[in-house]
Amino acid sequence: MEKQTLHLFNSLSRKEEEFVPKIANKAGVYVCGPTVQGEAHIGHMRSAVAFDILRRWLEKSGYEVNFIRNVTDIDDKILKKSKEAGEEWWALAYGFERSFERDYRLLNVLPPTYEPRATGQIPEMIELVEILLKKGYAYLAPASGAEGANVYFDTEKWEEYGALTRQGKDPLPEEMEAGEGKRHPRDFALWKAPKPGEPSSASWDAPFGKGRPGWHLECSAMSHRFLGEDFDIHGGGLDLRFPHHENEMAQSLAAGWGTASYWLHSAWVTQKGEKMSKSLGNGLSVGQVCSQFSPWALRYALASVHYRSMLEWGEECGKEGMEVEKRVFRFKEEAETFLGRKISEEEAEALPVESLPEDFVSSMNLDLNVGGALACVFDLLRSLNSSMRLSGEKEESERGILAVFSMLSVLGLSPLCGAWGQKKEEEDLSSLVEALIEKREEARKEKDFKKADSIRDLLKGCGIGLEDKKGSTSWRRINTDEGIN
């Protein structure tokens, strides 16, 4: 096979570019992870799956990948929700972090090389703020009723502001964050003074005043620490381009650091044309979807549409995934029967990229064209089904069978993977919990609150916490001594 090269669509240049890493045969990737203020919805998982496939393809192509995904565990929304729930902010954040981890595992998303939390990188963020203050790209603004001061990035001073999104200085978009003492509406918070009523545990001492980091600050500090001043790829959802990634790029470059060479953005999951999000109240949780469809089917639905194209979610997405799942797992059984042995995931993964069909490699190298790659998988699968039925030449068929599983492994959909072997247990747990939630809801409607409370306590004792909101109840795994109202 002729050597092919990976091309990725770079949001910075707005065109597909050949991937040329900073260091030969290595790839540094930073992906914005979750703000752990609630359950994961399938929009979060769309981004996670998209960049998981990128990571798997880089590794298959021979790169040593350093994959960083952060966790934002201190934030205005986390503080607000913890106060409403009557629990410590860090406990709420950690509970939802574990919930995200469960959903990543459920959908076979590989764990990152490192997964730093915002609260674990405070010294690095303070250092960055000091650099920006010293260089004159940041300024202090007194905060009324607080012992600290706000620190803002001065967008007027940074002439390259808007380079990523071409926003320019005006007009001002609706996304501008409010802030006391800002010189310009586009200026953004690097450091936030504590607000009256906030817990003291949510503030840290700094030379420029007690407070906590602004949202954008952490990603610059973390990518710099774990990937260096210049790195290869920065990924995230399309909604993060502005203001988050624009601000992140500005503060990193203003500090004299480099930033990513390639900026990649995955598109949204929509329902009836609207972006799926918590704020709109239309975010389907992974648990909700997987109570109706399998985790494999959900991953297939999220992966099968090109990562830069919007995915309109509907029941047909899950149903199609379930049909494809039956086909793939039936192929596994027939292939192992034909070969007279079990096939391991490690055996399929060990197949070199040069042994994969050329059309598959070309599709994946064309900005991760998963649609074309899947077409290649199913073309080969159909051919093998015919040859196995006709008792074709076993050695040649074995090479094709391993190629099918190797390609599916790149997409995180291999039926050989142990993650899918455990899916039945997860499905059974989800079905049981959902059934008990339904019984609890019936008891509440009948005003049998004693029975409703006993069901909630039973689930809590089993490590399942319930959260009631807007006429629905969601659940997540918790420590047995943790509670959710």
What is the DSSP secondary-structure string of 81-97?
HHHHHTS-HHHHHHHHH
| Helix orientation angle between 423-445 and 449-461, rounded to the nearest 10 degrees | 160
Contacts of 371 (CB under 8 A, 6+ apart): 304, 305, 306, 363
Say if CB 311 and CB 41 are below 8 A apart: no
Token duo for residue 280: 């709109």
Q: Which CATH class is domain 7-275?
A: alpha beta
User: What interhelical angle do 42-60 and 394-410 show, nearest 10?
Assistant: 130
Q: Distances in Å between the alpha carbon of 98 and those of 71, 91, 117, 283?
A: 11, 11, 13, 19
Q: What is residue 485's predicted lDDT score, i.e. its pLDDT?
A: 44
Give the pLDDT score at 434.
83
Distances (CA, A) of 235 to 241, 284, 291: 10, 23, 29
The closest alpha carbon to 68, from 260, 295, 345, 243, belongs to 260
Ramachandran bin of 2, using left for φ above 0, alpha for ψ from -120 to 50, beta for the remaining angles:
beta
Selection from 199, 225, 7 nearest residue 121 by Cα: 225
Cβ proximity of 164 and 241 under 8 Å: yes
Tokens of 397: 């068929």
CA distance 66 to 94: 24
Domain residue ranges of the chain, discontinuous segments joined by +: 7-275, 314-421, 423-477
Kind plus residue range of the DSSP H or E element containing 444: helix 423-445
DSSP annotation of 267: P
CATH number of 314-421: 1.20.120
Q: In this predicted structure, what is the pLDDT of residue 319?
A: 96
265/248 Cα distance (integer angstroms)? 15
Query: Which helix H or strand E contains 65, and what residues bound it?
Result: strand 64-69
Tokens representing 300?
């297939």
318 DSSP assignment: H
Q: What is the pTM of this model?
A: 0.85
Tens-level pLDDT at each residue, the chain (485 residues):
455 799 999 999 999 999 999 999 999 999 999 999 999 999 999 999 999 999 999 999 999 999 999 999 999 999 999 999 999 999 999 999 999 999 999 999 999 999 999 999 999 999 999 999 999 999 999 877 667 789 999 999 999 999 999 886 555 655 566 667 889 989 999 999 998 889 999 999 999 999 999 999 999 999 999 999 899 999 999 999 999 999 999 999 999 999 999 999 999 898 876 776 665 555 788 989 998 999 999 999 999 999 999 999 999 999 999 999 999 999 999 999 999 999 999 999 999 999 999 999 999 999 999 999 999 999 999 999 988 887 667 888 899 999 999 999 999 999 999 888 655 555 567 778 888 898 898 888 888 888 889 998 898 888 888 888 766 787 877 755 444 44
> Rounded to 5 degrees, what are φ and ψ at 238?
-60, -35
How far apart (Å, rounded) are the C-alpha atoms in residues 221 and 357?
A: 41
Distances (CA, A) of 470 to 42, 179, 278, 440: 19, 30, 12, 16
What residues have CB less than 8 Å from 48, skipping those under 6 apart?
Answer: 104, 107, 109
Ramachandran bin of 21, using left for φ above 0, alpha for ψ from -120 to 50, beta for the remaining angles: beta
Q: Are 177 and 243 within 8 A, CB to CB? A: yes
> What tokens were used for 413?
């959909």
Cα 35 from Cα 78, distance rounded (Å): 8
Non-local CB neighbours of 138 within 8 Å, separated by 6+ positions: 129, 132, 151, 152, 153, 154, 190
